[in-house]
Structure 1
Amino acid sequence: MPLPSIATPKTVLASVIVALGLLGAMAWGAVTVLDYDDTIERAERDSRQAAALLDGHAQAVLEGGSAALVPIVNRIEQAGLARWAESGLDDALAAPGPNSLSILDASGRVVFGPAVTFDGDGFGGLSEGTETSRRRTTLVSAGLAGDERVILLVRRLYRADGSLDGAVLAGVPVAALTPVLNAFGDGLQRSAGLFRPDGTRLSGFGAEALGHLPPLAPGGEAVETDWRIGDAPPAQAGASILGLKRMRDLPVVSAVSVPRATVLAPWNMRLQRGLAVAMTGFLALLGLSWVGLTSLRREAAVRRDLTDSKARLEQRVEERTADLRAVNHKLIRALEEKERANQAKGRFLSAANHDLRQPFQALRLFHHLLMERLKEPRDRSIAEKMGEALDAGEKLLHALLEVATLDAGVVRPEIANVPVAAVLNDVAGEFQTAAAEKGLRLRVMPCALSVRTDRAMLTRMLRDLVRNAVAFTPSGRVTLGCRRHGQWLRIEVWDTGSGIPSEQLDNIFEDFVQLGNPERDRRQGLGLGLAKVRRKAALLGHAVEVRSRFGIGSVFAVSAPVVIPERAPEPAIPEEGGEAPADAERLILVVEDDPVQRSGMLLLLESWGHRVMEAADGEAAVALVRDAEEKPDLIVTDFRLPGRLTGVQVVTRVGELLEQAVPGIILTGDTAPERIREAVATGCRLLHKPFTPDRLRGALAAVIAERSGARAVHRQTAA
């Protein structure tokens, strides 16, 4: 079986042109047919509405005359026309009525009023139903009342034996209807008139008679879309669109007609224009096809040139790709080496941070005990030097801890309305002495605004910025001030120091980056101050910016949202009475696997007047509490313990064993973010090693105070 041939571009182009031509012809034909139907339908609607409006106006004119005939006919029939004539018709008909009123006898002779001339067959030719139905029917005809053209409204008079006695006629001047008829017809493009049901015209424009009209009930309406008068062929009488409406109480039909030729004239014009547009489009399509064929020939030539160029380009791309692949491999290896170095550095810092805290903590506890026991000034001086060395080491560890805590996401800012002036004055007061020793002028610009922030964290951020400004400004001044920008307040720290090179402005916020301190002199800081400022600003949603001109000075700014200062709440007055003071004797369970630290902790707590229970691991601590007669008031435990239980689990197990929550203080030297989050989630207080005895005493006092407050609330609730 032969394979089907592939269509050439010329074949495709020809097919597209034919398809477009067919689609265009079909679309144009469909639109033309729809336009024709819409034109006829709109003409039918207009004719029906015009007939209804004509009927309404004519009915208001004619029904007044018809209603005036009724009482006159009734009065004459009561005594008979002859007796009414003898008694004097002028006096009897003096009551208000139609302008043209005539009375005829049975032979059609006028016995009262102006002479009347009927069109057509005259008085005897009036017909509307049977003779019985005529007794109470107003008949309609056209004619003359005197010299005036009128529409005659006729009511027949009958004797007591049912024979015809005469008729009463009311002539309505055609002139009264002329303005209405002129509004609905002009006699040329549209005809309007009033007709009898047999098609005879009473008034209006157009044909004298419409022929046999379709039967209409009183108040009925109809539309004839192809109406021709009588049986005349189309060559003699053109078709019209005829709207009909019959009056409810009179045998009168309102008719409005429009020749179909007049209705379709705009459509014929649109048809001719559409044909012209279609022909123009077809010619344009042929022109485009010729242009397309020409373009195909040119495209074939260009395609051959492109094929040759593509081959040459692909060869060059392959050569360059091979070079880039080699460079990428080198970059990937370099990035992998950097990532391994970062991971190794992180593991080293975490392990070193944890392992260094253990001996530092033991040294701090024993140094505190040693200072309390030494009396000789020389011995105390040596111990104080040892304390300074411990302080330097702990400062580094605490800086690492603060960075790790911020990275762990466990810090929860306490957002409030903070007056900026108070924060600036506090920070400036802290560094006034250091600035004065260097001969610097430390100035605070007044600021009466407040910002929405965490006061403690904002104070630490500004403290780090001012510390750097004082440290790296050899002479001149350091200025603290504010600038408002819309809803934000820029808290700025200006200095006249040596400035920062522009290429280093982004690097100074990285960890352990110090410009101008390649020897890493710890007296010039650790290189973590600006890194902590950046982390705290991100946590608070504030922006940190820096501008600097090398050799002139720098400006560091923290942007915080401005708020209206709120009135500070009045301090609560503590209630008298309550639990025992925080430094009262307590029974404390100490869980620590390091015997040196456990020994130092026992000595320290006992020196504060507390009683101590000790255990080396979690299982031993739980067993000790289970067997002891007296239960511990709180637990001080290391986070990492040998065995299956951690310090957090020990606090939980002891609480379950005693069937009540036991407050706990978790001691840890681990600064990993996940460890910090796990410890904070327990609700226990967290102390990072190394810590000072004063911090431990403050934590004990806070835990005891919280427990005492909880018991007081419980007693009030129970009461």
Structure 2
Amino acid sequence: MIRNLGARLFRRQPQKHLDEELAEAGQTKVRLAALSIIAVYTATFGVLLAEDEFIAPWAITILVYHILYAPAAFAIFLWARHMPGHYPVRRLLSMVLDYVSLGCSIVVEPMVMMPLHTIILWVTLGNGLRFGKTYLRIATGFAVCTVLIVGFSIPQGQNAPYMMVMLLLSAVVIPHYASALLGRIDQARHEADQANLAKSRFLAQASHDLRQPLHAINLFTNSLQNTGLNNRQRQIVERIDRALQSLARLFRSLLDLSTLDSGTVAPKLEPVSLGELFQEIVLQNVQLAEWDNSELRMVDTRYVVLTDRVLLLTMIQNLVSNALKFSTGRGVILGCRRRGSSIAVEVWDQGNGIEEEYFPLIFDEFFQIKQRGDRDRQGVGLGLSIVARMAAILGLKIDVASRIGRGSRFTLSGLPIVQDAKVTVTLVPSGNDRSPLRDWSVLLVEDDTDILEATAGLLSSWGCHVVATTSIPATIQSCDMIVTDFDLGGGQTGEDCIKFVRQLLGVEVPAIIITAHDDSRIAAEIGDPNVLVLKKPLRPAELRSTISSVRARLTSG
């Protein structure tokens, strides 16, 4: 039992709230500030009340004591800075040092130092408000002991017991009142957490239910474009598709923001080829650039960085989409530069530029620069705020530079290099790699027959040999890739399908799971780098570029 208690005291404990580390650091800074205030107070009155000496002897005694106490307070400050977290022994040791310091100061010269009783209350309330009701009770116990010891040690305590009773009551009643307030705060926080959890559950369910029809409409619109429409009909379908893509981008932004608000996003670091990532982003935005009569180019690179691929892809995608939106009829360039041992990704546009006064605001949620008479643009101002939040998660820095009338440059810096390589400065136009996937055998599994038919038609139009089924096939001769939905009905999932087919063929067949669930959660649950997870609604260009990159990687390997 004693061993377990000791382990709990010295071991880092789980934190209840994300701001607990900031509270610990704040308490150490307050301690140093209080130490300085007491020293100045003591020195000032020591000089003013001195009779024959320059400074009164009692003041020297207190100052010497605080000089000896200062290294301990500074050591606790460094301890909290270099080892953040909830360590009970550190908090208890800090309390002991605080109350001993204050009590000794009062005992040395009660008449002058009695105002330090207010600092005793300050320390008690500070521990409670920062660390919760348990530490408030412990601090109250220390405060009561300090007042009792001081009361029995000084003449005023013996000659004026009523004053000591008043001090003792204040040391108990005020923290008790604070404890009641903390209880209400905890209750309010619990209710807020429950409301936030309910919102997250609602959005998760809405995400799943809304992604499916959006994904289906996306596929059907693309299939309709390949049915021999006349020019007028093709224009109408393109406008429908354009509106659908705007809705899908807004939908993704809202769900990305909700996921970030939930605090569940944890980066999964892996080597990422920037060249392949750039190529994928360019292919995904070909149609958007064509619609806006813009030109999207990339500077090819062979650098490999250590980062979370999904988060980096989302950030760059948001930057490119934002650049295209404000560069109608002009150009956007995607590239990177080396900065020491890291890489900075840059997105350049030829838009109208951004006033410098707006630089601190453009990464705020729902902020949009819009002047009177400006034309309406799609979006609600979430793209850059999502980039800023994801950059913070990955420890990256986001910067902006702009010149009015010339354009803007957004930079993501701090990506650590894994593989050093020279950059091939080649401008790759947006439509350079649109060849079909000829002779590529794909097993397609989707329980929705309409989506199954539309996806099979797309794959076939790209030159793939498609075996399409609504459930896990009992047998299959061969396939180069598996494309499957996650929820297949009957308690079966896409993961089950992939495992069964691989076992049946005896080959680690590359696979893609298309899901309406949180893609990062599904990827973490599967834990297989050879299984890519794409989230609905999925644009055909995104599916094609993903399959192409897998095929290219296998061919080069």
Structure whose residues are more often helix by fraction: 2
Greater fraction of residues in strand: 1
Greater relative CO (CA pairs within 8 A, separation 6+): 2
Which is higher, the Rg of structure 1 or of structure 2? Answer: 1
